[in-house]
A and B are shown apart, each in its own frame.
Chain A
Amino acid sequence: MPRVVSIFLPTWPIDRMMRAMGAAAPDGTRPLVLVGQHGRRRIVTAANIVAAELGLRSGMPATKAQAMVPDLIVQHADPEADAKALDRLAVWALRYSPVVAADAPDGIVMDTAGADHLHGGEVAMAADVGRRLRQAGISAKVAISDAWGASHALARFSADESVVSPRGATREGVERLSIAALRLPADIVHDLRKLGFERIWALLETPRAPLALRFGPLVGRRLDQAVGQASEPIDPIRPAEMIEVGRTFVEPIGAAETIARYIGKLVVTLCAELEERGLGALRVDLVCHLVDNRIQVARVGTAVPIRDAKRLTRLLCGKIETIDPGFGIEVLRVAATLVQPFATVQTMSSLIDAAPADVTGLVDILANRLGVSSLYRMAPAQSDVPERSFVRVGATAPNSETVWPIEWPRPSRLLASPEPIETVALLPDHPPVNFTWRGVRRRVKRADGPERVFGEWWKRDAELVAVRDYFRVEDEAGERFWIFRAGDGEDAATGSHRWYLHGIFG
């Protein structure tokens, strides 16, 4: 099942021109239009947001636009340069998926099935695409769904900046959209409107035969594509400099062992090529062209550049189970989509001790299997509040500088959120005499504390006077708990004076 991402770039010609002009670009707060030749007429081909708010639309005669807005900036449109730049942007988008194509004139389409785990899932990936493009000064909207037609429509006709349509819910996602979202020629849309069709659901419920008789087969095809019933393969771009090896099979293959065997052979060739160019791969794609014109992909990422055939084969073979070969695989390709210079270096030998063992191989295997976000280390953070005293960092992140204080004992299990307990306690400085947690009443035999933790007013205003007093208590059976009282026990402004259990000592 493909998962198609459509990226819509609403003001692409203008964004591209502004980027190309660099420092000489006009101020973004002034109305700007691009004007191109259409037959013998000069018409507006693109307008920036300011100009659009003033009522300027593409397709409008240039003279009319100039008459409507007196201080309008007019630039010449360059559709050829736009298309070329869009192709280059599509090459950039290869970072997300191996199957990417420019969706001219104002978008990019890619199939991310089997690749989104490296970016923390689909929602995070969609957000990341939008964020990176906006940072580069390109306005963008992103939609993910099961079909190209649906994603194309959702990216352009949905109000949200990123839309992730759940699997199998393609029809529900698009049927409320306007029929203009169907990628039909303008005159057909116009005629359909005349017949009273406004939304896609209305067309879906109409018998196909009269529609085909009146408008030809295109309407039916576009409808099927929009709800994901007709396949629409993406023809992926392949930049010339990309390192890719492939093999075409006379007889389509499908068995897992066969695929694994050919992956092994292809990876050896790929690694030889990487070595020749002095590169290491950070991301390697397995692209399977199926007999029924579909493309199945699997992508693996590594923490450090590698060109070790054994390791790469192992990583790719771990992905075979995600590939559905259908009627068989005709062409198998292995491509290094993201590479980094990786030259052999001399290592200093040391007499003192052996270098720490390299665990990046293991990290790669687990990260490709479970997703990058489920593999992490805990690094100390500069905060006295227990739940803020650590941050998750990547498994291969550099070691942190800060350390936790060793003087104050910390519980080995920290509850996700402090649980309220019922206590009998003397205020202000005494630990409870007994407390009830999860229905069990415990008598406090010994206690240590209080360790006072102050609120962090630089994070939230409400924490200006907030205080927590932590106690380590031991009950009669020797079980040790970490409990705290919200507030200092005297001033009601510092906290509610309720007691909570926050952790369990070993």
Chain B
Amino acid sequence: MKGSAAEILDDLRAQVGRLESQPTRERPTLPFGVRAIDDRLPGGGLAMGALHEVAGGGNSAVDGAAAALFAAGIAARTAGQVLWCVTRQDLFAAALAQAGLAADRVIYVETGDEKALLASFEEGARHGGLGAVVAEVSRLSMTSSRRLHLAAEASGTMAIAVRRWRRQTEAADFGQPTASVTRWRVSALPSEALPVPGVGRARWLLELIRCRAGESADFVVEACNAEGRLHIPADLAHRSHDARDGRRRA
């Protein structure tokens, strides 16, 4: 009986795979290099030709800054130039360089309004010559996210939407469903106490809220280093590793 259930599931997965424009298993992925996170993602990493969403945890400006840095860390580990679309510029390029994304690699597009931003985002995702496209959007409808995802899928470029909002009313939009493959939420955590006075390496609570063909999870990580890599703190690594056993392979 158990065997037949597995057979039915395999058959269903094959059917779904045929329906999807590109089979999930064949998609190239970008691993984080952190086993606890990669094991949770189908294909062992973030899908390359897909749309991903990153948001700050609360409505505070600080978490928005963490989300941008998290996106920069991912973009840093891709190859090639990165297009970063903003409506208004307030990124400090030196910080992105410290997260591994060298200034020479980033082309900024400052559009002034959200409509032109989404158009530039889509254009970048469609082009195919870029390593990654990042856009700081406040609203993302199902239609536009679907368009973005299809554009990214066709070109194999990773598209990352950093959700930002300046008003609380815009924050409600994040609850709406979108076509993005993964959804992350990054919030700042107090850094680990050092034996001397000072601020330690930044820590984030990284929540994988949604993951297509996977399950949601959350991790406590140390922020991107100069190569854009995250790190699971030593005292927590054991626990995160354990969590893997209870998981079903999707």
Contacts and interface: CB of A to CB of B under 8 A. Distances in A.
Contacts, number: 170
Contact of A446 (B65, B98, B112, B199): B199
B111 A370 contact: yes
B158 to A, nearest CB: 14
Interface stretch (A16-24, A238-246, A333-341, A359-367): A359-367
Nearest to A378: B93
Contacts of B190: 445, 474, 476-478
Interface string B160-177: 000000000000000000
B198 A506 contact: no
Contacts of B47: none
A504 B106 contact: no
A304 to B, nearest CB: 14
Given A477-B188, A478-B191, A506-B95, A356 B80 contact: yes
A99 to B, nearest CB: 27
Interface residues of B, number: 59
Contacts of A399: 104
B189 A375 contact: no
A216 to B, nearest CB: 50
Contact of A474 (B90, B97, B186, B199): B199
Contacts of A395: 107
B142 interface: no
A411 B81 contact: no
A382 to B, nearest CB: 13
A479 B205 CA distance: 12
Interface string B22-62: 00000000000000000000000000000000000000111
A505 B129 CA distance: 30
A503 B90 CA distance: 9
B90 A416 contact: yes
Contacts of B63: 479
Contacts of A69: none
B107 A410 contact: no
Contact of A410 (B90, B98, B202): B98
Interface stretch (B12-20, B116-124, B144-152, B232-240): B116-124
Nearest to A394: B107
Given A390-B94, A395-B107, A445-B190, A365 B123 contact: yes
A412 B68 contact: yes
Interface stretch (A42-50, A170-178, A400-408): A400-408
Q: Which label, helix, strand, loop or mixed, suits the secondary structure of the B interface? A: mixed
A400 B103 contact: yes
A257 interface: no
A363 B107 contact: yes
A95 interface: no
Contact of B107 (A375, A411, A506): A375
B123 A366 contact: yes
Interface in B175-229: 186, 188-191, 193-194, 197-200, 202-204, 223, 226
B107 A376 contact: yes
B97 A506 contact: no
A502 to B, nearest CB: 10
Nearest to B157: A357
A446 B197 contact: yes
A196 to B, nearest CB: 50
B90 A414 contact: yes
A379 B112 CA distance: 21
Contact of B226 (A356, A365, A406, A414): A406
Contacts of A359: 80-81, 83, 107, 127, 129-130
Contacts of A481: 62
B121 to A, nearest CB: 11
B68 A413 contact: yes
Interface of B: 60-70, 72, 80-81, 83, 90-99, 103-104, 106-112, 116, 119-120, 123-124, 127-130, 186, 188-191, 193-194, 197-200, 202-204, 223, 226
Given A400-B104, A412-B69, A480-B191, 19 more contacts: A357-B130, A362-B129, A375-B109, A378-B93, A389-B94, A390-B92, A400-B103, A404-B98, A410-B92, A410-B94, A413-B90, A413-B91, A416-B90, A446-B193, A446-B198, A474-B199, A478-B189, A504-B62, A506-B204
Interface of A: 356-359, 361-363, 365-366, 369-370, 374-380, 386, 389-390, 395, 399-400, 403-404, 406, 409-416, 445-448, 472-474, 476-481, 503-506
21 contacts: A356-B80, A356-B81, A357-B81, A366-B120, A376-B110, A378-B93, A386-B94, A389-B94, A390-B103, A411-B92, A412-B91, A414-B90, A446-B193, A448-B198, A474-B199, A477-B188, A480-B199, A504-B65, A506-B65, A506-B69, A506-B202
- List 10 A-B pairs, minimum CB-CB distance, nearest first: A506-B69, A357-B129, A378-B93, A506-B66, A478-B190, A414-B92, A479-B62, A412-B95, A410-B94, A404-B94
